[in-house]
Amino acid sequence: MKLVKWIITGASFASAMLVNASSISPTDFATQTISDNYIGAGASGDVYGSTRKYDVDKMTVKREGTTMTVDIFTSFWNDVNSTIKFGDLFMATGNGIDNPWNPYGSGSYQNDRSSDSYRNNSGTDWNYVYDLEGNRSRTSGIGRLKSGFNRSDLYTSSDEMGSNGHRYDQAVRIKDRSHQTTHDTSNWSIGSQEYFIAGTSYRNLRLTFDVAGTALASAHQIAFRWTMTCANDIIEGLVSVSPGDTTTPIPAPQTIALMLLGLAGLSLRKRA
């Protein structure tokens, strides 16, 4: 009887593991990092102006269920003002597992430009944007996840800065237009993660939003782009997750059940 009870308990445990495994979304992916290896056209180097003010170090991305969390680590967090503000987060999804990121050139993409003008040469179709809206000169606000915009909806760094110093003619945010589709409204803010590089403080601009009902919820590759409204440093890159990858390893309950039955058989054979 003890043996039977042991087998039943083990089988129940295996079944519970199967239920838990089936509840894990195959679209989840653990935190991935995009380092700032992108330069872009409009200036000669990675950062136009002061690194202490405008440098973007990296971006981290996590998708859990339908919640997307993006942290942008920048020295600009403490220099945002009424003239130079936080830009919008642009995203691109391909078809299925296709790579949606297609900047012009190679290496650090020093000649790549996303713009509303004839100078645009990027092959990336930025089809989603997180719009920081009216409080982009502050440290927190309300933003909206949108799609359905086009190149004529873009504000560039030159639109924003005029004759002031900036990286020339790069897309930085979108205009609010009635033909755009809003998928989610959420809060954004400067986070508490701080570190220093060569005495310069970096903190995270955190954007969290629901991607339910969009291609962002299931895409296996997503391209990201962000900069401040002067575009003095731009970060672009790609995060990838293979089809079926998850944030948590899925156990194999069938294997456990077979092992239990095998052990039970050996025990019965010894008793016989």
pLDDT of residue 181: 98
40 contact partners, CB below 8 Å, separation of at least 6:
109, 110, 112, 113, 167, 170, 231, 234, 236
Of 255, 198, 234, 180, give the one whose Cα is nearest residue 43: 234
The residues pairing with 236 across neighbouring beta strands, listed in sequence order, are 225
**Which residue, among 171, 172, 122, 130, has the nearest Cα to 147 in the 3D structure?**
130
Per-residue pLDDT of the chain (272 residues; tens, 9 = 90+): 544 444 444 444 444 443 343 334 446 778 999 999 999 999 989 999 999 999 999 999 999 999 999 999 999 999 999 999 999 999 999 876 689 999 999 999 999 999 999 999 999 999 999 999 999 999 999 999 999 999 999 999 999 999 999 999 999 999 999 999 999 999 999 999 999 999 999 999 999 999 999 999 999 999 999 999 999 999 999 999 765 444 444 344 454 444 545 555 545 455 55
- Give the pLDDT score at 242: 62
Strand partners, 155: 173
Q: Is 266 helix (H, G, I), strand (E, B) or coil?
A: helix
Count, residues in the chain: 272
Ranges of H-type helices in the chain: 2-22, 51-54, 157-161, 253-271
Domains of the chain, by residue range, sit at 27-248
